[in-house]
Amino acid sequence: MIKIYNYGEFSNDEIFARGNMASNVEGVVAEIIREVAVRGDEALLEYGRRFDKADLQTLEVSPQEMEEAFGAVEPEFIAILEEAAVNIRSFHEKQVRNSFVISEQDGVVLGQKVMPIERVGVYVPGGTAAYPSTVLMDSIPAKIAGCKEIVMVTPPDEEGKVSPVILAAARIAGIDRIFKIGGAQAVAALALGTESVPKVDKIVGPGNAYVAEAKRQVFGRVAIDMIAGPSEILVVADGTCNPEFVAADLLSQAEHDKMASAVLVTDSRKLATEVSLALERQIPKLPRADIARASIDNNGKIIVAENDLMLAIDIANEIAPEHLELCVDNPFDYLDKIRHAGSIFMGKYCPEALGDYFAGPNHTLPTSGTARFSSPLSVDDFVKKSQFTYFTAEALSKVAEKVAYFAHKEGLDAHARSAVLRNAVQDTNVTDDTGGI
């Protein structure tokens, strides 16, 4: 059963503690990366047999497999995927940044070029569930950014097949190539390249502890989006909320995995008790009841901020959750008070599941308190920027001495010389004398 606390009964460390990741996987992942670096496709096929129980002959999904998968998915779900994709595109198109040029001073042109990352790798989890939503969320922003090629990796089943709904979503999103590999070996393949899998410039997408550790270890060779921890939801609810709604929303994250965290912060002791009872009624009805039960019992919390909704919001800011639901009357009155959250769901009729699948904002979010300093996946994650500077001879002559003065203050004489030398060369009365620089 979920634990109920009064705020102030325990230290912040106890109240805000999150479940830790599974046992140390650093050494295992390092060995997998070494094997992929040395043996390439051979290692990937061997790991497929060992971890996925799939005896693959080739790693890449064929056009025929794509066609068969698309035809195997019911038309009703295809229509829902396409509508969700429209919503995701519409939201993320507003994030596009433009290059700019500044020419406010005579003889000076400054600017910034915004360019897409050329090749992106998208990791889509498999195993206990298929996630076509991740396909859409992690690839559509890349398409909007203009990435030249999007390469997806996802683990196959024991028959060597990828879930048809995953492949259908990939086709709708416009993914270019798909490989049947998962786990740390898939991350290694994307980061290093193999005979079949092209090396990418950035890897995005969630995964288990091995995937997260692999992303950490390859960072620097390639870029990554974030190192995601277990899923989390925090619901701020006032005493007028329906406890069945709140319990259902907590379970929407608890069913992800046993390490997921579901937290309710409320100003009502009565609601706290009612939500606890509602959880006990709802958990046995879930197909993934064993996972939800472990998550709620081990990581779930209800924190009572008695008759103080603003304290509840302060607690939410302290935790900095991945998903934050403001289940209160007039939620927009409190939006400016939220400082740290990955994605915010407003009001009593906005379950977090809307964001997971359909509404449009991204569902790849900062976890483990990193919402204090990082952001949801966006178009910004798939672009890079270069600056450019142009000065005419006359414009340089006006500032060269200032640049040299600055350089001397840092003890960098060659920097100073590079600025004033051009002035000296332009002065026909000066031969080799550059002012002692």
User: Which of 6-15, 122-131, 145-154, 346-355 bottoms out in mean pLDDT, i.e. has the lowest?
Assistant: 6-15
Q: What's the chain's average pLDDT?
A: 93
Q: Work out the pLDDT band at 257, boundaries 50, 70, 90.
A: confident
Identify the domain boundary among 198, 227, 256: 227
User: 326-336 in b/e burial notation, b at 16+ Cβ within 10 A?
Assistant: bbbeebeebee
Same domain, 254 and 310: yes
Give pLDDT, residue 9: 76
Is 320 contained in some domain?
yes
- pLDDT tens track for 155-180: 999 999 999 999 999 999 999 999 99
Overall size of the chain counted in residues: 437
Report percent pLDDT > 70 for the chain. Answer: 93
Residue 284's φ and ψ, nearest 5 degrees, are: -60, -20
Same domain, 91 and 218: yes
Tokens read off for 434 = 């550059």
Q: Does the pLDDT at position 380 exceed 90? A: yes
For residue 322, indicate whether it is catalytic.
Answer: yes
Q: Which of 232, 323, 352, 363 is catalytic?
A: 323
Same domain, 189 and 242: no
Q: Does the pLDDT at position 24 exceed 70? A: yes
Residue 109's φ and ψ, nearest 5 degrees, are: -130, 125
Same domain, 335 and 349: yes
Is 376 contained in some domain?
no
List CB contacts of 294: < 8 A, sequence separation 6 or more.
Answer: 258
Same domain, 45 and 142: yes
- Helix count and strand count (H, E) for the chain: 16, 14
Q: Which of 35, 232, 255, 322 is catalytic?
A: 322
Same domain, 300 and 246: yes
Same domain, 138 and 201: yes
In angstroms, how far is CA 70 from the centroid of its own chain?
27
Give pLDDT, residue 127: 63
Is 310 contained in some domain?
yes
Q: How many domains does the chain have?
A: 3
Give pLDDT, residue 121: 98
Give pLDDT, residue 161: 93
In whole angstroms, give the CA distance from residue 356 to residue 361: 9
Q: Does the pLDDT at position 435 exceed 80? A: no
In whole angstroms, give the CA distance from residue 159 to residue 88: 32
Is 433 contained in some domain?
yes
Is 333 contained in some domain?
yes
Same domain, 219 and 278: no
In whole angstroms, give the CA distance from residue 156 to residue 162: 5
The CATH number that applies at residue 162 is 3.40.50.1980
Same domain, 176 and 40: yes
For residue 340, indicate whether it is catalytic.
Answer: no
Q: Does the pLDDT at position 433 exceed 70? A: no
Residue 116, strand partner residues: 383
Same domain, 233 and 223: no
Is 60 contained in some domain?
yes
In angstroms, how far is CA 241 from the centroid of its own chain?
31
Tokens read off for 160 = 């060597």
What is the pTM for the complete model shown?
0.91
Q: Give the per-residue SS3 of 204-235.
A: ECCCCHHHHHHHHHHECCEEECCCCCCCEEEE
Same domain, 402 and 351: no
Q: How many CB atoms lie within 10 A of CB 155?
A: 23
User: Which of 11-25, 153-167, 282-296, 394-408 bottoms out in mean pLDDT, i.e. has the lowest?
Assistant: 11-25
Identify the domain boundary among 169, 195, 227: 227
User: Which of 118-127, 288-297, 399-408, 428-437 bottoms out in mean pLDDT, i.e. has the lowest?
Assistant: 428-437
Same domain, 233 and 222: no
- pLDDT tens track for 291-336: 999 999 999 999 999 889 999 999 999 999 999 999 999 999 999 9
Is 366 contained in some domain?
no
Instruction: Quote the domain boundaries for residue 47.
Output: 26-97+116-227
